[in-house]
Amino acid sequence: MTSWSLLPVALALLCSSTLCSLDCDLTLGLQEDFSLLNQMSTSSLVPCLKDGINFNFPKEAMDRSQLQKENATVIVLEMVQQIFTLFSQNTTPATWNQTQVIQLLIRLDQQLEQLERCLGQNVKWEEFSLRSEKTRFALKSYFQGISQYLQGKEYSPCAWEIVRVEIRRLFLFMSKLARKLRD
Amino acid sequence: MWATDNQRFTYSLVIWKNSSSIKETHHTVYSRDKINDLTPETTYCLKVQARLPILRKNGSYSPVFCINTTAEHKLPRPENVEVDAVNNNYVLKWNYPYENMNFEVQYLLGFYKRILSDYSDKWKVISGCKNITSKHCDFSKDITTDGIYYLRVQASNGSITSFWSTEKKFDTMIKTNIAPPSIKVIPSGDSFSIYISAPEESEKKLMSQNYPLIYEVIYWENNSNIENKLRVKQKLLKVSDLQPLTTYCFKAKAFLQDNKSNKSSQFSDVVCSKMTPGKLAVSWIIVICIVCLMMLVLVFYCSKVLLKQVKHIFSPSWKPPSSMSERFSDQPLKNLLVASEEQTESCIIEETNIVMLEETDQNGKSDVICSKQDNQDSGNFSNKDETSSSSKVTEEALQLETMPQ
């Protein structure tokens, strides 16, 4: 848990002029996503703790990339895309509130489009993408790990509960990132 | 290889009539999208290219594929499908050339286009818009979550049904009317700093981030009609090259950046502000103030000295009797000689000659005053009769009495 709490501290992001003018502000959207994720399952995590593993969030890669502030938006886009893919495969437990799962998908879809559009306007963002390719690859491996874990556990409700906890952390992380970008 | 990216692909389609060489390119095409407005019973050829926008990577074009369009359908499809936001209700409107038709409206959750190549079974009917005769449909009740939706409508005369209209994309974050922005003008130095707040930035709806706005700022001198226009993308700008000490007025309006719609907001309120005086003037003012202050201090000091001299002239000077002067001549006098007998006082002599004197006087007189030691030999001190009561603190310097020899 300590590595997670250190992450936002490690990110000393300043608002770069190029990105500020993009208005890629997802702060509020991500917070609502987080609360939706909170509500969609009322199952207890306790019986599932034995199934828990460390997914190895690429902390170092993220820290390194924050030195180049422009990459942060590209990273948020990558993370939202991966979370969207995870939830879109129709493997979430039946006990979860399916309306809320759909709501999350709708929201993520809109946020993706928002990010793609506002990134697409910045002439330099191709540079950002290329520079952040290493980080994005690290993120892809991370999400692939989550996907394989779920597959291995046959998408059991317990496995999904563990993954839900992990994704909630991701939303908190992105929310803080977005707030730092905005301010 | 592209397994984790397969949802990120968009496609570019190039299509042309076999008989002509005029090519039409459609960007951001997704699988199962429709190409409309083709001529019936014509051969069309097309090729497709895959794109990965996030990496700005484009693939090669597919082989060319040719197909014939069918004969014109008996019933045209509805046209000019538009969404209007009326009083917080979302209304779909369309045109149709014939009267007495029935219409059906359906909607699709936008995210299905990202994840499914075949989403044909995901369309749902808008409740209350099945078999309607009016050419509009209020679909607010079915759209409860903010997001991206697609809407389509078809016409029917009972026996024949038209094809579906074009799919109208609807993003709930977009409002048809842009509210005016608000501006704050702060004079700073030889320019103005303008802060533009995007319209209606409330907690929930941040419209400007979806369809970015550009702003037009107009300013003019208060008494003139000449307007200056500025078009800016950022919300913070500086306007310089202005006359000092003149009042300028500002107003701003917001535009949608893609000028397809030509939509703009009303102008914000006019804000007028006066320029600060130029730097030169300011420094002069500061210099004058300092000089005045110094003069005041000087005047104060002089008047104090004068007052002292006046007192010296007009009030009696007290000289100790010769017997006493003999006795005390050798001792440095650190105490004050006072008239009254019982008295406790303490005088603290400091180098700066400022003294706090505290005394209790039974006779109701405050006796001792410490005055400033000056360079003259004759140190005088005077008794002052004051009507105030016992303890008193006065601030005056102590004069060391050195008895003249």
A26-182: CATH topology: Growth Hormone; Chain: A; (1.20.1250)
With helix as H, strand as E and coil as C, how does B2-51 read?
CHHHCCCCEEEEEEEECCCCCEEEEEEECCCCCCCCCCCCCEEEEEEEEE
Strand B228-232 versus strand B213-221 pairing type: antiparallel
CB-based contact (8 Å) between B226 and chain A? no
Which member of A22, A129, A144 has the closest CB to residue B4? A144
Indicate the range of A64-73, B106-115, B220-229 predicted with least confidence: A64-73
Average pLDDT, chain B: 75
- Structure token digits, residue A115: 């990010």
Q: Which of residues 136-165 of B touch A (CB under 8 A)?
A: 145-148
Report, as an integer, the average pLDDT of A89-116.
Answer: 92
Report, as an integer, the average pLDDT of B333-343.
Answer: 42
The reported pLDDT for the residue numbered A60 is: 78
Buried b (16+ CB within 10 A) or exposed e, B264-302: bbeebeebebebbeeeeeeeeeeeeeeeeeeeeeeeeee
Where residue B366 falls among pLDDT bands split at 50, 70, 90? very low
CA–CA gap between residue A120 and residue B343 (Å, rounded): 91
H-helix or E-strand spanning residue B197:
strand B191-197
Which member of B148, B173, B204 has the closest CB to residue A109? B148
Distance from CA of A171 to the nearest CA of B (A): 18
Which member of A109, A116, A144 has the closest CB to residue B53? A116
CA–CA gap between residue A32 and residue B54 (Å, rounded): 25
Query: In DSSP terms, which residues pair with B168 in a beta bridge?
Result: B151
In this structure, the number of other CB atoms found within 10 A of the CB of residue B257 comes to 13
Euclidean distance between the first and final Cα of chain B, in Å?
A: 113
Question: Could A113 and B148 be called an inter-chain contact, meaning their C-beta atoms sit closer than 8 Å?
Answer: yes
- Closest residue in B to A123 (Cα) is B56
- Structure token digits, residue B315: 């009030």
- Closest residue in A to B204 (Cα) is A28
- Closest residue in A to B169 (Cα) is A110
CA–CA gap between residue B371 and residue B395 (Å, rounded): 9
Measured CA angle at B279 (ends B277, B283), to 5 deg: 100
Query: In DSSP terms, which residues pair with B358 in a beta bridge?
Result: B346, B393
Domain coordinates in residue numbering, chain A: 26-182
Report, as an integer, the average pLDDT of B128-144.
Answer: 92
The reported pLDDT for the residue numbered B57 is: 80
Question: Exposed, middle or buried, A2 (CB in 10 Å: 0-12/13-18/19+)?
Answer: exposed
Whether B110 and B169 have beta carbons less than 8 Å apart is answered as yes
Where residue B1 falls among pLDDT bands split at 50, 70, 90? low
Where residue B262 falls among pLDDT bands split at 50, 70, 90? low
CA–CA gap between residue B169 and residue B82 (Å, rounded): 9
CB-based contact (8 Å) between B1 and chain A? no
Chain A residues whose C-beta sits inside 8 Å of any chain B C-beta: 20-25, 28, 74, 77-78, 81-82, 84-85, 88, 102-103, 105-110, 112-114, 116-121, 126, 129-130, 140, 143-144
Rg (CA), chain A: 16
pLDDT of B336 over the 60 cut: no
Contacts of A119 in chain B (CB under 8 A): 54
Question: Could A81 and B8 be called an inter-chain contact, meaning their C-beta atoms sit closer than 8 Å?
Answer: yes
Question: Could B146 and A106 be called an inter-chain contact, meaning their C-beta atoms sit closer than 8 Å?
Answer: yes
Question: Could B54 and A118 be called an inter-chain contact, meaning their C-beta atoms sit closer than 8 Å?
Answer: no
Which member of A24, A88, A107 has the closest CB to residue B209? A24
Question: Could A84 and B55 be called an inter-chain contact, meaning their C-beta atoms sit closer than 8 Å?
Answer: no
pLDDT of B265 over the 70 cut: yes
More confident residue, B352 or B90: B90
Indicate the range of A6-10, B36-40, B104-108, B263-267 predicted with least confidence: A6-10
Distance from CA of B253 to the nearest CA of A (A): 17
pLDDT of B307 over the 90 cut: yes
Contacts of A78 in chain B (CB under 8 A): 54
pLDDT in tens, B272-295: 888 877 666 778 889 999 999 999
Report, as an integer, the average pLDDT of B181-186.
Answer: 87
Query: In DSSP terms, which residues pair with B291 in a beta bridge?
Result: none
Query: In DSSP terms, which residues pair with B227 in a beta bridge?
Result: none
pLDDT of B402 over the 50 cut: no
Buried b (16+ CB within 10 A) or exposed e, B179-212: ebbbbebebeebbbebebebbbeeeebbbbbbbb
Where residue A141 falls among pLDDT bands split at 50, 70, 90? very high
Look up the ipTM and state it: 0.82
Whether B257 and B213 have beta carbons less than 8 Å apart is answered as yes
Which member of B54, B147, B203 has the closest CB to residue A110? B147
H-helix or E-strand spanning residue A59:
helix A59-66
- Closest residue in A to B146 (Cα) is A107
Whether A24 and A113 have beta carbons less than 8 Å apart is answered as no
Rg (CA), chain B: 46
Of B27, B54, B174, which to mutate for an interface test with A (greatest number of A Cβ within 10 Å)?
B54
Question: In angstroms, how far is CA B273 from the centroid of its own chain?
Answer: 17
In this structure, the number of other CB atoms found within 10 A of the CB of residue A72 comes to 25
CA–CA gap between residue B239 and residue B165 (Å, rounded): 49
pLDDT in tens, A21-35: 445 677 778 888 999
Distance from CA of A122 to the nearest CA of B (A): 12
Where residue A64 falls among pLDDT bands split at 50, 70, 90? low
The reported pLDDT for the residue numbered A122 is: 66
